Each structure stands twice: as structure tokens, then as C-alpha cells.
Amino acid sequence: MNEEDSLVGKEYNLTDNSPANVLESYDHDRERLGENGRFVFDHVQMLTKPLSMLPTFDKRYSNIFLFPNSASDIKDIANTESILRYSTFKRQKPQLYTSNIAGILEFKDHDAHQMRVTITSRFFDQGKPCSLGDDWFLAYMMDKVLNFNILGLDFDTERDGAWQKMLMLMIPFHLERAMSKGIYKQYMSRRYNDSRPRGVIDIPRHISRNVPFRGTVAYNTREFDVDNPVTELIRHTIEYIRAQGNFGTQLLRNVNRDTDTYVREIRQATWKHYDSNARAKIIHENRTHPVRHAFYSEYRDLQQLCLKILTKQGVDTGCGEDAVHGLLFSCSWLWEEYLNTLLSGHFKDYEVKHPRNLDQHKKDALKWPIFKVGGTDDQTENWLIPDFLLKPTADDRENIVMDAKYKPRKNISRDDRFQLLAYKLYFRSHKGLFLYAAKDEAEKEKEDRKLIVAGDENHTVEEISLVVGKGQAKTYSEYCTLMKRREKRFLSDIDDYIMEDGNHPVDDEG
């Protein structure tokens, strides 16, 4: 088998923000490649295009899910961000790199060419690539943030089942986001025959149903109802998952995400019109009438996920048609939300302000305007959106800002520091923190440090890492135990810095 043939039908493991050497020889001259090489070449070139635009370039790429939602909703992923990118850093010839995205992608075509690309965390095993199921750090963060056990998915021996389960595992997260807006409502046409008419009398139906007169009136009306095609679709998906045995039952009882509560609310909202035999009709209705209102964008995402689960779109990986499907994560987002699980509720004298901790109806509550346009009352320019803001619960303490960085300390840039300085000045805080990841204890001991603002020793920035590497752990269970100890030290380091030299009182004069 030649090198080109060996590139097809296998899994190619990469790490985030690292050279994609295994694919680099197939990213330039398509004409010199054979059939198999061109299959790889075409997909490599597609992966260098903006992630948010992939479905526009090729509709097959619409079967890729990105957490937390879509690229346009993640502040860490610009519209120009791609899964693979070219860089000329320290080289004259452009080199192919991965970006700040991890996950799994599978490609196939009608000629039985198949390829899997897995991108895992660069921090777990000294930057060594591995399969998705062997990256315990990524699995640990997903479990903490999403209650999503990716280690139980077998993409080798149970490929179709693994993809189907992966889609179902996404339901609790999307259900929570959607239900934070309240149960979806829309106007529905209803037909009644009772003694309290509240709409337009349906004369033909009234004559056929109520002659001789029986004390009731047949009429039609429109109601703003929680029982509608969208909530019915969610209900059908819930019942489909419930039918998957113990896996489905446990998933829908996810108490950490209040999934059980949301499931009960959906079932209660749809009890009157739910019909298990009407699934095809409900699927068609939702396909032809997607949720469009911007306020309900979370329901649009949930609607699309439910449709993919019920129709198995992008899940059947058997040969016979072209397909691309995958699940991707913003590493920065996942790191930030993982830190949120550690920080929220930890501080006795502070309330942790973080976008996900806020009521979704009040997203702007964690946006502070930098400038106001002269001559206007409410027109503003530019916003400050800190990752974490510690708001004191006592008047004698000041705000503290924290910036989460999914990068080594040496990669924290000049712009990153200027951004944190802007936060500190705006919130009149003498202390700020960068919270970053370290591969091992040696890196932590070497890299953790304090920065002092030149000319004012009271203004400091602490750079504190959480060690996330494999260490001496032999199993995932051992790794989880190890991470618990590391998390305690991480939080202790933060506490020590906050209480160091006391916490400055608020300077009302700025």
C-alpha cells in the first residue's frame, strides 16, 4: 500500500493550535495526487475556509455541530476562524496548523473513501496526539461542563451508534439554553365545540355537530399556545431518547442540568395534542417552518438538533453517499466554562459574575460600555466583557477581574495584558488574574508569576495555572482524583492572591 492509499480509511490524530504535519503533504498540488489523495486534498482545503461559512461552500458540512452553538455566537471564534489554518510563523513556506477547536470529523464519499480527523487538547499528554477517547482532559472538561461522557462512545466498532448517542448527549445542554427563555409559544389555529365560543363560528361544522341544538357551539380560534409543532418536536425527541433503554433514561434524568425538570415541563405543555403516530407530520412541519425569531435562536438550534436525531441525518456512516459529519468544541469556551464550575460559589465574600451565570433574558448585564457618543443619551461605542468579575458582597472590598486563557503562559500576549489592564482600570481594581493551563507541575512552578504595574506597586496581575496533564494517572478514574487535588491547589492559589496584603477598599474618587 502506498503512502497515499494509507491516508484513507484511518483516523488522523492532531492537537489544537499545533502543526498538522500528517496532512501537510496533501495540502498543495492536487494535480500530482491520485484518487485517494484528491479525496484528502479536497477536504483539507475545505477545512481551511471560515467555519461559519462551511455549509455555504458545501452543504455536506451542515452536519457539523459546534459547541456551544454556532461560530457567530462564540466571542472566541471570529467569522474568519477555520478548523485548519496556514501560518508562516518562523518559516518561509506556509505551514498547516490546527486552530483553537477540538473534536472529531468523519468524511466519506460514494467511492468508499473514508477519513477521520480527531483534534484533542495539546495540554493533556505533553502535546502528543491521541484519539478522542484517550484525551482525559478534554473528556473531564466535557463531563464537568456538559455532563457529557464521551469516553463511553466507541467510534470504531459501533460507529453509527456512537454518532447517534453523541447527538443525544447534546440534548440536555441545548434544552437548558432554550428553556431559559421560557417554553416556546406560537399562534396555533384551534377548533372547538363547547358552550363558551371564543372565536369565529364554523357554521357548516356547527350544523353537522350540534343540530338539534345541544348547548354547544362549533368555532375556530387562534391561540398563543405552548403546545405547537416546535414543542411537539422536542416531545417526540424526548420520547425517542427515552426508548433507548438505560442510556436514554439516565440522560433525561440529568439532575446537574435540571434536565428532568425541563422534560416534565415539555411533557406537561404537550399532553393535549401529542400523538406518537404523528411523528412524520411533526418532522415535516418543523423542516418547512424553522424557528426564525431572533429571541428564540436557542430554540432554533434545539429544533435542528431534534430533527437530526429523529431523522438520523448525518449519522448513518455507511457507504453509498457523500457525507461529512462531526462534533467540534471551542477550546477557549470549554476552558472558560470549566473554570466557571470551579469558581462559582467558591468565594465567601464575592459573587462571581460570568455570562453563563446570568439570566439569558439579561445578557447585556455583563457588558459595560467604554464610550458614550457625545450628544446622545444611550448610543455607546465598544464594550468591556470580562470573563469573570468578582463582585464583593461587602462594602470594604473592591472588584477583582479574571481572564481565562486556554494557552500557555508564554503565549499570553501584549494585547491580552492591555485588555486586562483596561478591565482593572474600568472596575477600579488593584488586582487582576490570568487563569491559564499548564501541562505539568514543572511548568507551573516555572511559569506562575506576579506582574507589578510600573510606577504603582499596589496594582498587580497574578498569572496562575491549573495543571491538567496526564501526570502519573493510569486510568481515567485516577486522573479525575488527580484533578480534584489540582483544583484545590488552584483555588487556594487564587485565594492567597486575593487576600495578599488585604483587599484594597473601593476608591470612590477613581
Confidence check: pLDDT of 119 > 70: yes
Contact partners, residue 277, CB within 8 Å, separation at least 6: none
Confidence check: pLDDT of 478 > 80: yes
Q: Which pLDDT score, from 0 to 100, does residue 482 have? A: 97
Closest CA to 171 of 264, 45, 90, 259: 259
353, containing H or E segment: strand 350-353
Q: Which pLDDT score, from 0 to 100, does residue 72 have? A: 43
**pLDDT grade, residue 463 (50/70/90)?**
very high
**Worst-scoring range by mean pLDDT, 124-128, 204-208, 314-318, 432-436?**
314-318
Between 455 and 483, the higher pLDDT residue: 483
Amino acid occupying residue 84: L
**pLDDT grade, residue 277 (50/70/90)?**
very high
Q: Which pLDDT score, from 0 to 100, does residue 505 have? A: 47
Q: Which pLDDT score, from 0 to 100, does residue 366 have? A: 65
The pTM score is: 0.82
Q: Which pLDDT score, from 0 to 100, does residue 502 have? A: 58
**Worst-scoring range by mean pLDDT, 4-18, 221-235, 355-369, 402-416?**
355-369
The DSSP code for 19 is B
Q: How far is residue 69's CA from residue 494's CA, in Å, rounded to a whole number?
A: 31
Contact partners, residue 40, CB within 8 Å, separation at least 6: 7, 8, 23, 26, 33, 115
Residue with cell 478522542: 132
SS3 482: helix
Q: Which stretches of 48-135 are DSSP H helices?
A: 54-57
Confidence check: pLDDT of 6 > 70: no
SS3 116: strand
Between 69 and 23, the higher pLDDT residue: 23
Q: Which pLDDT score, from 0 to 100, does residue 182 have? A: 92
Longest dimension (CA), the chain: 95
Q: Which pLDDT score, from 0 to 100, does residue 209 have? A: 83
Q: How far is residue 489's CA from residue 156's CA, in Å, rounded to a whole number?
A: 38
* Annotated domain spans of the chain: 3-179+284-332, 344-499
SS3 367: coil
Query: Do the beta carbons of residue 231 and residue 285 sit within 8 Å?
Result: no
Task: Cite the beta strand spans of 147-271 per DSSP E.
Answer: 186-194, 200-201, 217-225
Closest CA to 391 of 426, 347, 353: 353
Confidence check: pLDDT of 77 > 60: no
Q: What are phi and psi of 323, to 5 degrees?
A: -160, 145
Q: Which pLDDT score, from 0 to 100, does residue 278 have? A: 94
Q: What are phi and psi of 373, to 5 degrees?
A: -70, 130
**What confidence tens digit (pLDDT) does each residue in 169-209 have?**
889 888 988 998 899 999 988 888 888 888 888 888 888 88
**What confidence tens digit (pLDDT) does each residue in 334-346 have?**
999 999 999 998 9
Confidence check: pLDDT of 416 > 90: yes
- Determine the average pLDDT of the residues in 54-82: 68
Helices 136-146 and 476-499: crossing angle in degrees, nearest 10, is 70
**pLDDT grade, residue 377 (50/70/90)?**
low
Q: Which pLDDT score, from 0 to 100, does residue 412 have? A: 93
State the average pLDDT for the chain: 83
Between 380 and 417, the higher pLDDT residue: 417
**pLDDT grade, residue 146 (50/70/90)?**
confident
Q: Which pLDDT score, from 0 to 100, does residue 320 have? A: 47
The DSSP code for 291 is -
Residues 230, 231, 232, 236, Cα dihedral to 10°:
100
- Determine the average pLDDT of the residues in 300-327: 75
Q: How far is residue 320's CA from residue 38's CA, in Å, rounded to a whole number?
A: 19
